[in-house]
């Protein structure tokens, strides 16, 4: 592809993003228009930007992997060594990728995007599918919802970020992520200054969709650099419509529409994802870290190759229970007003020692 | 020890719920596996983040109902015969803060809700700090042998 053609396309895509993506997100912020792609309260899901990956186009050249590294290199951890001795040492082991920064065949704190490959046969035809893998940027991300310190958050423009200044590296986000995406680097972050022996173990890292570029109305590096136009970004409702249209055109399949209740990363493929899931090299599928895998070696560095299997909405039960949580005080007040409380409370009323 | 002029079951249910909420709340931090709590017979469930989270929700629902019921009865009739102790007032304020921050936490977890990261940080840390303040106040109340929230006027 000529440089001229590439530039023209990049400008065009940037214009598209500005006009439809960040622009519409900004329009939803009447009180703070300057915050455009930044976070704010009460976001409808339509304000979220989603990406579409057309897997029929990806040639596996790796340009996105390289671009991701370059774009995010300033965010990569520079751990202080030796790492703090942690207690109990048998269970709390450091995870160190700082001497393996070149690893690019899995997710690491220094590699937030990698390529998976699947050679499958479907309807009598062979397919070689290349799949750029990174954070799925869930619509209702368990990593952010369940972080006990508020270090992980989803922004109004649909991306999920982990704040390196607040993260303690407990890796709960990795445990609750259906794809176990975030990866840990020890020897860096807040825990070193609090109780390094007793709490924390570093900082978790993952794709933040190049927020520094998005905030300026520019494309994430992996999208901008792709010579095959594999990825598209825009308001989620448009991206979903485009994904469905594309899937219809190629008689293909979509991943990310229903998985975990919906993600802001949609893959469209000419072959079923269950075939891809069976064929790709993966470590982090359901049960990957569970016992019962014989003498499978469990390294402290853990898996970083996400699966492509079905994922139920992991926060669905909480969503149902939330209704009960909001009804409970109303029910308590109603019961009290109706006198039920008085009857209950008068039962056994009297002085007692406790 | 001062006597409680309200039914014993309220005190006992409240203590049970707050204790269970405190435990399941602290288990939101990744402590159970690291500190081998999951290896204690009958405690393996503490390592399941989702299960512990759901139990915390269910306990929270029960506490919300109880607190609302007691508050209404206080307004309707008890305030004429009962008076909050100083420590009782302080703890009631802390429980109110825990309830509000907890509900905001539940709201934040709904799909389609995206709060400002600074607001989320405030909610998290207010909730975590208040439970520790409640623990300190409860300890002071026990030491001073005045654990009842209210006494007869």
Asked whether residue A57 is assigned to any structural domain, the reply reads yes
- Name the packing angle between helices B86-108 and B49-73 (round to 10°): 130
Asked whether residue A29 is assigned to any structural domain, the reply reads no
Shortest Cα–Cα distance, A286 to chain B (Å): 14
- Could you tell me which of A216, A211, A217, A246 has the C-alpha nearest to residue A231? A246
Q: What is the pLDDT of residue B71?
A: 93
Range of the domain at B28: 8-152
Residue pair B33/A91 in contact by the 8 Å Cβ criterion: yes
Asked whether residue B3 is assigned to any structural domain, the reply reads no
Shortest Cα–Cα distance, B135 to chain A (Å): 18
User: Exposed (0-12), middle (13-18) or buried (19+): which is A161, by Cβ within 10 Å?
Assistant: buried
Indicate the pLDDT class of residue A224, thresholds 50, 70 and 90.
very high
**Whether residue A49 has pLDDT greater than 50:** yes
To the nearest whole number, what is the mean pLDDT of chain A?
A: 84
Q: What is the pLDDT of residue B9?
A: 86
Asked whether residue B130 is assigned to any structural domain, the reply reads yes
**Whether residue A11 has pLDDT greater than 90:** no
Of B49, B73, B128, the CB nearest to A172: B49
Asked whether residue B1 is assigned to any structural domain, the reply reads no
- Cβ within 8 Å, pair A92-B34: yes
Asked whether residue B59 is assigned to any structural domain, the reply reads yes
Q: What is the pLDDT of residue B10?
A: 87
- The total domain count for chain B is 1
* CATH number for the domain harbouring residue A67: 3.30.70.20
- The total domain count for chain A is 1
Segment 219-278 of chain A within 8 Å of chain B by CB: 261-262
Chain A CB contacts of B4 below 8 Å: 351-354
Of B8, B64, B109, the CB nearest to A354: B8
Asked whether residue A290 is assigned to any structural domain, the reply reads no
**Whether residue A21 has pLDDT greater than 60:** no
* Average pLDDT of span A222-229: 97
In this predicted model, what pLDDT tens digit does every residue of A164-198 receive, in sequence order?
999 999 999 999 999 999 999 999 999 999 999 99
Give the Cα separation of B97 and A124 in Å (integer).
Answer: 63
B121 Cβ under 8 Å from any chain A Cβ: yes
- Name the packing angle between helices B8-26 and B117-143 (round to 10°): 130
B65 Cβ under 8 Å from any chain A Cβ: yes
ipTM of the complex: 0.92
Asked whether residue A167 is assigned to any structural domain, the reply reads yes
Range of the domain at A215: 49-283+297-307
Closest-CA residue of chain B to A261: B111
Vertex A145 angle, CA A142 and A147, to 5°: 95
Q: What is the pLDDT of residue A339?
A: 79
Residue pair A145/B104 in contact by the 8 Å Cβ criterion: no
Closest-CA residue of chain B to A321: B57
Q: Tell me phi and psi for residue A33, to 5 degrees.
A: -60, -25
Q: What is the pLDDT of residue A242?
A: 97
Asked whether residue B2 is assigned to any structural domain, the reply reads no
Asked whether residue B145 is assigned to any structural domain, the reply reads yes
Closest-CA residue of chain A to B58: A321
In this predicted model, what pLDDT tens digit does every residue of B49-97 receive, in sequence order?
999 999 999 999 999 999 999 999 889 888 888 899 999 999 999 999 9
Task: Calculate the CA B120 to chain-centre distance.
Answer: 19
In this predicted model, what pLDDT tens digit does every residue of B2-21 receive, in sequence order?
456 677 888 899 999 999 99
Asked whether residue A24 is assigned to any structural domain, the reply reads no
Asked whether residue B107 is assigned to any structural domain, the reply reads yes
Give the Cα separation of A25 and B55 in Å (integer).
Answer: 36
């Amino acid at each position: 592809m000529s440089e001229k053609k590439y530039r023209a396309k990049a400008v065009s895509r940037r214009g598209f993003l500005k006009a439809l993506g960040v622009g519409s997100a900004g329009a939803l912020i009447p009180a703070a228009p300057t915050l455009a792609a930044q976070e704010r309260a009460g976001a409808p899901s339509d304000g979220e930007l989603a990406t579409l990956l057309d897997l029929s186009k990806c040639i596996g050249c790796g340009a996105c992997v390289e671009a991701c590294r370059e774009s995010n290199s300033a965010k990569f951890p520079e751990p202080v060594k030796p790492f703090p001795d942690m207690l109990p040492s048998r269970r709390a082991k450091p995870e160190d990728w700082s001497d393996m920064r070149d690893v690019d065949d899995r997710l690491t704190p220094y590699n937030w995007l990698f390529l998976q490959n699947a050679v499958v046969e479907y309807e009598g035809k062979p397919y070689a599918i290349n799949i750029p893998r990174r954070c799925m940027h869930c619509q209702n991300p368990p990593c952010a919802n369940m972080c006990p310190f508020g270090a992980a958050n989803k922004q109004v423009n649909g991306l999920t970020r982990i704040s390196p200044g607040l993260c303690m590296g407990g890796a709960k986000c990795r445990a609750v992520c259906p794809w176990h995406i975030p990866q840990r680097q020890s020897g860096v972050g807040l825990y070193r200054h609090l109780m390094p022996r007793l709490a924390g173990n570093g900082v978790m890292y993952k794709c933040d969709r190049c927020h520094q570029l998005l905030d300026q109305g520019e494309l994430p590096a992996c999208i901008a650099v792709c010579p095959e136009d594999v990825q598209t970004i825009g308001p989620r409702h448009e991206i979903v419509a485009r994904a469905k249209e594309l899937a219809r055109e190629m008689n293909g399949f979509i991943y990310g529409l229903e998985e975990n209740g919906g993600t802001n990363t949609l893959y469209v493929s000419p072959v079923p994802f269950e075939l891809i899931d069976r064929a790709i090299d993966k470590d982090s599928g359901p049960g990957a870290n569970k016992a019962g895998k014989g003498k499978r070696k469990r390294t402290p560095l853990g898996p970083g190759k996400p699966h492509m299997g079905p994922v139920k909405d992991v926060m669905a039960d909480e969503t149902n229970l939330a209704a009960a949580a909001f009804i409970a005080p109303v029910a308590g007040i109603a019961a009290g007003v109706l006198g039920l409380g008085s009857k209950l409370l008068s039962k056994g009323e009297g002085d007692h020692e406790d | 020890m001062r006597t409680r002029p309200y039914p014993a079951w309220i005190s006992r249910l409240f203590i049970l719920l707050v204790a269970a909420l405190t435990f399941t709340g602290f288990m939101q931090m990744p402590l159970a596996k690291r500190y081998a709590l999951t290896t204690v017979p009958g405690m393996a469930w503490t390592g399941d983040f989702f299960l512990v989270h759901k139990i915390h929700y269910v306990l929270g629902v029960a506490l919300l109902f109880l607190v609302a019921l007691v508050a209404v009865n206080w307004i309707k009739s008890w305030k004429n015969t009962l008076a909050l102790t100083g420590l009782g007032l302080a703890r009631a304020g802390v429980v109110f803060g825990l309830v509000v921050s907890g509900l905001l936490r539940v709201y934040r977890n709904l799909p389609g809700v995206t709060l400002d990261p600074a607001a989320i940080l405030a909610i998290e840390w207010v909730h975590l700090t208040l439970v520790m303040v409640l623990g300190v106040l409860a300890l002071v109340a026990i030491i001073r042998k005045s654990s009842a929230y209210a006494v007869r006027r």
